[in-house]
Structure 1
Amino acid sequence: MDTAVSTSQHGGPVEPLILIVDDVAANITLLGKAVAGLAQVVFATDGISALELAFSRAPDVILLDIEMPGMDGYAVCKALKASPRTAGCAVIFVTGHDSAEHELASLNEGAVDFVQKPFNLAVVRARVRTHLELRARTRQLRLARHDLMDLVHSLPAFVAFWDAAFVNRFSNDRDGRWFGVAASAMRLRPLAEVVGPGNAALIAAHAASLEDGGETTFEMQVLHQAQRRYCHAALVCRMREGGRHGYLLLLTDVSARKLAELALGEEKEKFRVTLNSIGDAVIATDGDARVTFINPVAELMTGFHAGEALGLAIETVMPLCNGASGEPSVNPIRIALRENRIVGMAFDSQLIGRAGRRYAVEDSAAPILDAGGKRSGAIIVFHDVSEARAMAFKMTHLAQHDALTDLPNRVLLRDRTSQALEQAGRSGQRVALLLLDLDNFKAINSAIGHSIGDALLKQLADRLRMFLRVSDTISRQGGDEFVILIPALDEVAYADRVARQLLALVATPLYHDGVRYDVTASIGLSLYPDDCSEQEEMYRHADAAMYKAKQDGKNRYHFFASEIEEILLARNALDRDLRIALDESEFAVAYQPKVDARSGRIVGLEALLRWCRADGVQVSPADFIPLAEETGMIVQIGSFVLDQVCRDLVELTAAGCAMRISMNISGKEFQEEGFATRIAAALDAGGIAPALLELEITEGTLMGDIERSRANLLQLKRTGVSISIDDFGTGYSSLSYLKNFPIDVLKIDQSFVRDMLSNTQDASIISAIIHLANSLQIALVAEGVEQEGQAAALAAMGCSTMQGYLYARPMPLTLLWPLLKAGRVPAR
């Protein structure tokens, strides 16, 4: 239903009314049918009754037949338009004529439309609906205008319209509260008579500056009954065709705000004078940390004048940095604004002035809150403490450092040792204390003089200081005695290495005025918690070990704990033997077959490193591989294994026994730049199919740096080799890397295989690994298979490729040829 609904004067809905006037009942019926559902419908059959209905009901639309007996439609329309009650009704003439003469006559009488006979009901309905909607909108506009006038008259502001000659045409000041002239009396009065000559001239000047249709705002004062009002004025130019129609003037009383501004201005001036008079630097900012005020002291320190600084970010005007590192610091203003609290400046803060000069600064920043508690900005107060801080630093430094060498003295060493022991107690690490005493230096000092002796000690102190790590401490205890503190020690071998290097460093000749001086030292080492439990005991043990070194001939070092010394001596001997083994080609490669347990067929080989010393002693890989990795020699050893495997692959291929060989890759090799290129070059040099080489990598190696490991694996895969995860299940065993890394083979670690028949947990782990690998379509190899029962159980779980003593021990290629030519291991 498409009824047009309008609203009453009070805002409620009113159902529209249609009056149909026709002396023919059939026409009334047809027209009623056409407008059915659009509105309430009433009808009349003659002009007199039509006027009575219209005057009493005031219909929205009247469908009026022109040719009626007695009073025709024109006469009825004329009477309707003459009455205020019905003048607004929309009259639509109904006629059987289609001439332009009749149409003009209808419109001249005040009709809004006409319909012709015979009726097109759809057209009649459309036209009536349109006029009903227009009536509804007209009524709404009339109500809105009425409401707007009520609103304008109730505004706490002066609203008036002046014509182009500045004569008043409208005002909302009914009671004359603004200028003592009521709105009714103000109409047709000139502007100057109402607002006064001065304000009239001000308004006219602003009006003259307006573009056609433009608007402007300004301030003006109104004096009425000895009361001064501060007003905000808005002037709008209204245009009509042919020029300016007039001006709309809006005045808003801002006296309270203006008086508050004046009072605030006075307070701000007092505040400015106060801040400009104090000895501290002061900078204020808005809520975005942009400078709004800077006093003269701050101008001097920052290098920015107030005019330049206003509006700039606090970091631009007041850049701060850490005095020790030089790294930029967060300005306290930012923290005060972000966290809404008072913030002290970080210790050792420095302000970098515009000219590059640095000031050590101290003090704090605080947020500025408005009356509602809302943060509106922040202020920072600071002062230059460069001289005071330099003096304090100098005094502290002198109290904690040796005057001759500028090394930490006994006081500072004691503090750092205490911290190192406390940290080691929490972390489970070691601390090493090395007591270094120069051999026979007192005799040298007596012979050459103390001034030269002091110069040599300073040279030596500089040399030792440059050698040690930043985290280590070297202290001069007086005379020719030095103490080296090594905190957070992960391995004893590092302390051993430092002691050896210190001896070499001290033994390097010293020169003074072109004269060479040779000096040696004896060093004693104490380790926490191995041989001591507190600081004094540590020093005593290092001192005892140092005297032992002197007794043994000087120019050497000793640990206080003999068992540690024995371990380090053995380690040093192994390190020496490893280097000899590389030079003398004592390393060899053995191979252990990988077997398909279902058929006994050999499906691959694993290359295993073996070391037989010149004296015939076999050294276990478990003894020398960790040391080789630590010293970096593993890279050279790995290159030897790669070259040997490639040579053996060439020989196997030529003999018709080509099969994949896997070799272990250390973490250092895997992370080495260009490792994949070296693998590809070795394969190309021998003309070897990349698919014949498999690289075994441990889980721990891969998980060190995930992204780098993935990139390295992808590089290796591009060479065509296979990737195997060695000892799977003993490390991270992360499902994510199995999914994201290009892995071809998982090797089940022998630690699970060893007890799988008696330990249900090991068996469950193996079962889970096999199921996981099969699901991801990754090949499997079980290591350390030594029993038939293990092989049967593994095969039943779904792992058929095995490696272990059950099938063959590792052996040189020369002994492996019979098995390789047979293609299988002997039946058991």
Structure 2
Amino acid sequence: MAYKHWLSSCIKAITAFGSLYTDIELRELIPKALTFPSYGRLLVANRELEREISDVHNEIRLLKQAEIASKQSEIRYRAIVEDQAEVIARYLPDGTLTFFNQAFALYYGRSPEELIGSPDQPMILEADRQRVAEFVALISADHPVVIIENRVLLGDRVRWTKWHNRMIFDEQGCFLEFQSVGYDITDFKQIEETLFQEKELAQVTLQSIGDAVLTTDAFGKIQYLNPVAKSLLQCSEASAEGLLLEEVFGIVHETTREKVQNPIEQALQENRTVNLAKHTVLINQNNQEIAIQDSAAPIHNREGQIIGGVMVFRDVTQNREFSRQLSWQATHDALTGLANRQEFERQVKQALGLACSDYQVHALCYLDLDHFKIVNDTCGHVAGDELLRQITVLLQEKIRKTDILARLGGDEFGVLLSKCTLEQALLIANDLLSCVQKFRFVWQEQVFSIGISIGLVGIDTHSESVAEIISTADAACYTAKNWGRNRVYVAQTNDQERLQQREKMQWASRISQALENDWFCLYVQPIAAITSTAQNADDGDYYEVLLRLRDKQRNLVLPMTFIPAAERYDLMHLIDQWVIRTLFRNWTKVVGDKQSIYAINLSGSSINDDRFFDFLYQQFTLYSISPHCICFEITETVAIANLSKARQFIQSLQRMGCRFALDDFGVGMSSFAYLKSLPVDYLKIDGSFIRNIVKNPVDNAIVAAITHISSVMGIQTIAEFVENDAILERITALGIDYAQGYGIAAPRPLG
């Protein structure tokens, strides 16, 4: 009975705490109680049971407390998680979601019922699923965290998300599930893509531009080289990266060979853009020398701090060589390689400055070859050019290293004798004269003797200007020519010969001004027919066009005052063109519908100018003037100087319809011989024979002979300087066709 009572008490006690025990625990406890054999033992067992029950009660109480703490921790965890802006989720290895926060649901726009227990794969963009799976497979106990960036599909939108994936283990280290914390990085990805595109664009631009570009850090160590920089430096980006720029970028001055400061270093030190000094040469890794031009600048961050430098440079070897060639061509003569007039004048100016400041004495020689034209006309310009080259070598051998030899134009040379007295200069000039005299020019089995005329002038503190010095030397040279050529003439103060030559030079300038300002004017003088055979029925009046010049005071200047200067300084062809243009322009006003002939004088320079024929054809076309009304006059001297050229010129214009007269006939020693080669229409007998024809029987005989031969050849004759009736009567008796002079009519202004 007692045993049953005890057992009943135990069952009640157990029942009282039933809520604390499981069925399994009751089944284990009751059999134990039923095994006690006696009451004493039951008491012992009862006490043991009571203790066990007390222990169980304490354990249950602790479990209850732990359960409450766990629930409170879960509530706090959920509160923390729900307050996070990041999306948070937990899922099993197969991808099934077991937990997510509100941010997760809002981000994906799904309800909890749709998400819990569902796989997360459909939310990952299909194109990224394989990559995500490969990353997840890398997670292990040794590497429990993997960061993954992937795209997710949110309705019809695609967003980028960055996930921190972590394995979660229990206290015993057993794997439970994965936890992922993510946030949207779409904006960042767009910025990243934009920056990437800009970087790509910058990279492509840097790689495609023709300039070399390199960048360094703030210490001048190389960080980047574009392909052009690699090519010029002859090194790869890998081998150069991290090196100081000066280790691969050695630059020196191309002339002095002195080392040039590194431009990047200077730009970083001075915090400004630096341009490389001119004449800089890069010596690359293969010891090649490359002329370069560059600029360097510091690179700043947003705070304005220097974080590096950039340098842009280019290969200017060809440009610099081309520039040197242009510079050389600008100061040198292409044919001889000597200094040209411009450079020579610069050197003379420098010498004059030293003469004035340091009281130095210099000298200048003006050289003009004699008989050069014979070589040119006989053998052609190729031979003339070769002669000039050989003369250049000859002269260079006779001057000092400090002296400057220049070609001033045509067959004229200049020598600047530095620090040389006039006496020393005269010795050098005579030496030059002697060597040229001994020289023989051979061309295609023809041998020519070449002389030279030299004008010498000193340069000292009394010298006025460069123009004055050269002008004086030129005038002295021309005086040497007038005195018989092949000699040296030293210019002296108040030298009458030199002053006359200087006057010619001044006339050259005045002629140019007259052409520009239209100071020239035209006169005409009638040429009268004095025989019945002098003209055809359809011919009208006959005039010679004469040139005059008005000075600043409007006074008339006769041609012989300025024509020699115009011939000396090669201005006659310009004067000829002015005469033709002016006559043709005023043709309608002056001539009208009359059938008249106008004779125009032509110089030798116009006849020898191949472009003159085109000019003349253009004028005839422009003003619709009949060539039959124009007669061109050339002097016998001009015609004889280049007989073949004169004959060709006359025949070309005669084919157009123009007429020709040979002026000043009879002055030459072989006039009749040359006359057979020139198909002229008129022969103008030189006035020196006409003026004294009445009193001088020799002049009368010469004129009679010319008239007879001209008649036989079918050439009509014109007598100049018919001053009175006696002369007119005599020439009429001799059968001359035309008369011109003050005894016929004085010149009058055209129009």
TM-score range, shorter chain: 0.3 to 0.5
TM-score scaled to structure 1, two decimals?
0.35
Structure with more relative contact order (C-alpha pairs < 8 Å, separation 6 or more): 2
Q: Which has the larger radius of gyration?
A: 2
Instruction: Report the TM-score, using the length of structure 2 for normalisation.
Output: 0.39
